[in-house]
Amino acid sequence: MGTLSEILKEQWQWRKQILSLGLFDLKKTSAGAVLGPLWFFAKPAVYILVFWFALEVGLRSADQTGSDVPYILWLMGGLIPWFYIQEILGTGINVFKRYSYLVTKIKFPLAGIPTIFSISTFVVQLGLVVALLVVYFLCGLPLDLYLLQLPVALVLMFVFFNMFSLVTSLLSAISKDFMNLMKTLSTPLFWLSGIIFNVFNLGIPVIELILMLNPITFIVTMYRCAVYDKMWIWDKPEAIIGFVVVFVVTLLVTLVIYRRTHEEVADVL
């Protein structure tokens, strides 16, 4: 608990600097481009359109959903959170090298560095969620209480994957093999996380339960419960149980690894 208290205390004391650096990182990424921030949304838009054409037009996947709600909403509910998670699984697992000057030259709290990148990526995610809601209302769907699950999903996603970024960045700083392993797992996680298929339609309870231990699947399920399935996430208790178990285990692992390795990172870099 002492380690957790230390991390939270540092995050709070340095909150203004962390937020400023996160927004600055976002501005720096779009600097020099004529269209500026629009490029943050160009790649996701292309991905969504390509997947929509391949799955709905090409493979007729929409016919398998049994719903009158446009298939594009189901697809966006899976792909939009993935764009944030993909950044965490890519750059987010190696943030100490990305911001090495904060580690080696400035006395900046180590636990706050992953939050910088998480914030800059999260701002883009918020813009994508707004786009999702625009499509949602253009499809003629109503403003209802189920949509309240979106902000809850956003908070849970940010907290969990910010924690995930911290522990993986610590391990990546010490072991390059671990970083390569995580990058290798990025593509399998996409195909095994229920992003482009419905986990609950597999008809194999054991596999469904295993997939529910994947936090990506949980977040995607929450997005779709809000905008497509029109149900509450607690109607799928196995999803909540799986996420809670993984969250607690990840938290404990993060605290242990942080306590044992955070003083070595500066020397390694």
pLDDT of residue 216: 93
Mean pLDDT value of segment 132-147: 91
Q: State the Cα–Cα distance between residues 56 and 72, nearest whole angstrom.
A: 8
pLDDT in tens, 200-250: 877 777 887 888 889 999 999 999 999 998 899 988 888 899 899 999 999
Residue 240: exposure state from Cβ atoms within 10 A (0-12, 13-18, ≥19): middle
Element (H, E) at 32: none
Both structure tokens of 106:
């400035």
pLDDT of residue 162: 94
Helix pair 71-90, 176-191: axis angle to 10 deg: 170
CB 246 within 8 A of CB 161: no
CB 60 within 8 A of CB 176: no
Q: State the Cα–Cα distance between residues 82 and 88, nearest whole angstrom.
A: 10
Q: State the Cα–Cα distance between residues 119 and 136, nearest whole angstrom.
A: 25
pLDDT of residue 249: 94
Q: State the Cα–Cα distance between residues 219 and 157, nearest whole angstrom.
A: 7
pLDDT of residue 268: 65
pLDDT of residue 40: 78
The band of 30, judged by pLDDT with boundaries at 50, 70 and 90, is low
Q: Is the dihedral of CA 131, 136, 139, 140 positive or negative?
A: negative
The three-state secondary structure class of 143 is coil
Q: Is the dihedral of CA 147, 213, 174, 262 positive or negative?
A: positive
pLDDT in tens, 42-100: 888 888 999 888 887 777 665 555 567 788 899 999 999 999 999 999 888 888 888 88
Tally of CB atoms within 10 A around 86 = 20
> Mean pLDDT of all residues in the chain?
85
**Portion of the chain with pLDDT greater than 70, in percent:** 92
Mean pLDDT lowest for which of 20-24, 94-98, 176-180? 176-180
